[in-house]
Structure 1
Amino acid sequence: MRLILVALLIMSYGFLFSQNTKSYTCSRITQEPVIDGVLDEEVWKTGNWEGDFVQRQPIDNSKPSQETYFKLYYTDNCIYVAIKSMDTQADSIDSRLVRRDKQEGDMVAVHFDSYNDSRTSFSFFVNAAGVKSDVLFSNGGSNEDPNWNPIWWVKTTKDANGWYAEMKIPLSQLRFSKTGNKVWGFEVSRYIFRLQELSLWQPIPQTASGWVFNFGKLYGISDIKPKRIIELAPYVSGGFESFEKEEGNPYADGSNFIHGIGVDGKVGLTNDFILDFTINPDFGQVEADPSQVNLTAFEVYFEEQRPFFVEGGNILDFKITPGNHDAARDNLFYSRRVGRIPQYYPDLRDDEYIDFPIATSILGAMKISGKTKEGFSLGVMESLTKEQKAPIYYQGNEREQIVEPLTNYFVARAQQDINQGNTIIGGAITSTNRFYED
């Protein structure tokens, strides 16, 4: 079961809800705390803890059943967050060991609108067992990308008074402008599983339209600069698989060696835009898709989990059907078609054998994505997949059959936020070019 926490946070997109906006001032520190979930460092002992949460579910705008407190500090490189989740029934705290991004049990989260565009939130969740989850919200909160996986650290502990979370979030994982003192949208949330209770630091009533544009404000962060990102990750992979040998089939001799070589890279072009590129990528470490039986004439929709396509995916996402139903997945660009299983399967004689590829090789891909502080977003992606051939064996002779042509995929999207992010204008262009031999 995917926890209700994200579902409760997502609300319909509309006009700003009139309310009193809370603010929190973050201070700079020089001594970094140890991320162990034990809030015994001097930095956590000084100053006041922020609290005064308001319940949103199940009873809107009421006092929460349990108290919650938090503190934030920052350095040149990271933001540090401590959250105290007090509980008068500590033995009833729901601590579930689940896989990353599976939101179950008692949870807390911090949400940063570091663009301060009232549309985008970088959200960091952790449950009482220390399992972390991260979601990139866009379009005011109506779109979520759970496949966004930034690098950050968190530890939790529990005692007779409740449970505690200590976070370290690198500033390089957020996006923000270079100039001036920073003013960010900000929210802290807590979910108590046994009570199905969601409480927020900045109250957002159930009747409010939108999510991100109702955040409180985070002040005090200054004299920091976006980190210039330059990453290069070459790889060499190898593997061995064994299977049952098939008599007469030269492609099923009982074993197979797998190898590959390539490189991934990321370059910060400016403070706002990032170039990602990959040559002969290997996505073997990505979680496999769930098995499904498809008896329809339409392809099965799968979530994108490959890192290259996830980065900046919220900008390239251009849904053409409104709503939250299955049809709302209709999109001008579906990245899972890049590198998919070859689509042509030749007719074979009874005594013919084929070594059919399980995927189409991606020769290379490049993507530029980002958003300026003025609210202009741009995403451009170009990729090239290999002409894929399948060898066919027949009575001692072998031939090759093209099962997927050389293909170029292109998508570009630009949009501009206006009216404090309540309205956007923009457009998208896509093209797919397949090159067949004469």
Structure 2
Amino acid sequence: MKTSPILVFLCLGFLLPAENSFAQSEQDSIVRRVYQTTRIQGSSPTIDGILDDQAWEQVAWATDFLENEPNNGGSPSQETAFKILYDEKFLYIGYRCFDTEPDSIEARMSRRDGFAGDWVEINIDSYHDLQSGFSFTSGVSGVKGDETITNQFNWDTNFNPIWYLKSTIDDEGWVAEVKIPFSQLRFTGEDEQVWGFQINRRHMREGTRSTFQEIPNNAPYWVRGFAELHGIKGIKPQKQVEIQPYVVGKIESFPEEEGNPFATGNDSKLTA
């Protein structure tokens, strides 16, 4: 038996308001954590994997992560802390990933977006549409991962922005220092920004993940449940143009001639 299109339309007319109401009430029930950042006064941090620059003293540490997997909502055995700063052109994130057995940290090399070993990442909903975002993953070995997020759960590794990372291991665990150009993000032209964000850490040895903002494993959302980043003021949307210098070693054999064995160049990304 075929169903009448009119009947389907009428049924949807009754169902959609109920679904929208449920989604709105679910969103209103989220208790969001807030991190207050500030514009850097003085020199910006050097990205060397050591959080000893004076700039980092201008903001507070954020801690109290909760386990996401496997014990959703539990207390992780290894603490995580972070700080966020910004200047006119860059967002800076400093991570302190504590580990009681630093000699056993899983520092694995892989290709970009390989997500091997221990890592920590920031997901940024810079447009604050509660639907999409950008992800920047920092591996303890210095390997980068980057993805776009759409429709809450769709992750795309074809996103390959230019950004900067340095990781180090010490007696307390490991540290990652990150610099992300604002040109690699998308945001509004408002003078004062509110962004959604999430910090997510994987501890491979114990098989756990922990997050700054608690999100139930059975929640029908990811981006919508993010914490909020406050305090970004006076930045303007920029064209996605970054130039990454590089040096390529090259050996050629010419018995009668001598020359510079190095060639220099530039990697550039341009998006209209």
TM-score exceeds 0.5:
yes
Task: Report what 1:91 is aligned to.
Answer: 103
Q: Distance in 1 between matches of 2:269 and 2:134?
A: 22
Q: For 1:43, what is the secondary structure of its paired residue?
A: helix
Q: Distance in 2 between matches of 1:230 and 1:152?
A: 12
Q: Distance in 1 between matches of 2:94 and 2:82?
A: 5
**Structure 1 gaps, min length 5:** 1-13, 233-263, 268-274, 276-438
Task: Report what 1:165 is aligned to.
Answer: 176
CA contact (8 A) 2:121 2:137 kept: yes
Alignment RMSD (CA, Å): 2.0
Pairwise CA distance, 1:229: 4.9
Task: Report what 1:221 is aligned to.
Answer: 232
Deviates more, 1:221-230 or 1:163-172: 221-230
- 2:142 corresponds to 1:130: yes
1:274-423 aligned at under 5 Å gives the runs 275=272
Task: Report what 2:202 is aligned to.
Answer: 191
Task: Report what 1:145 is aligned to.
Answer: 156
Pairwise CA distance, 1:89: 1.2
Q: For 2:224, what is the secondary structure of its paired residue?
A: helix
Task: Report what 1:54 is aligned to.
Answer: 66
What letter matches 1:21 in structure 2? R
Pairwise CA distance, 1:179: 2.2
What letter matches 1:50 in structure 2? A
Q: Distance in 2 between matches of 1:209 and 1:111?
A: 17
What letter matches 2:131 in structure 1? R
Larger relative contact order (Cα-Cα within 8 Å, sequence gap ≥ 6) = 2
Q: Of 78, 81, 100, which aligns to 1:66?
A: 78
**Structure 2 gaps, min length 5:** 1-21, 244-267
State the 4+ residue runs in structure 1 displaced beyond 6 angstroms.
Answer: none
Q: Distance in 1 between matches of 2:196 and 2:242?
A: 29
Task: Report what 2:129 is aligned to.
Answer: 117
Compare CA radii of gyration and give the structure with the larger one.
Answer: 1
Q: Percent identity?
A: 41
Task: Report what 1:79 is aligned to.
Answer: 91
Q: Of 221, 239, 243, which aligns to 1:210?
A: 221
Q: For 1:122, what is the secondary structure of its paired residue?
A: strand
1:20-43 deviation digits (Å, cap 9, x = unpaired): 110111100031111010111112
- 2:41 corresponds to 1:19: no
CA contact (8 A) 2:147 2:157 kept: yes
Judging by fraction of residues, say which structure has more helix: 2
Pairwise CA distance, 1:45: 3.8
State how many pairs are aligned. 223
What letter matches 2:56 in structure 1? W
Q: Distance in 1 between matches of 2:36 and 2:61?
A: 12
What letter matches 2:96 in structure 1? K
Q: For 1:183, what is the secondary structure of its paired residue?
A: strand
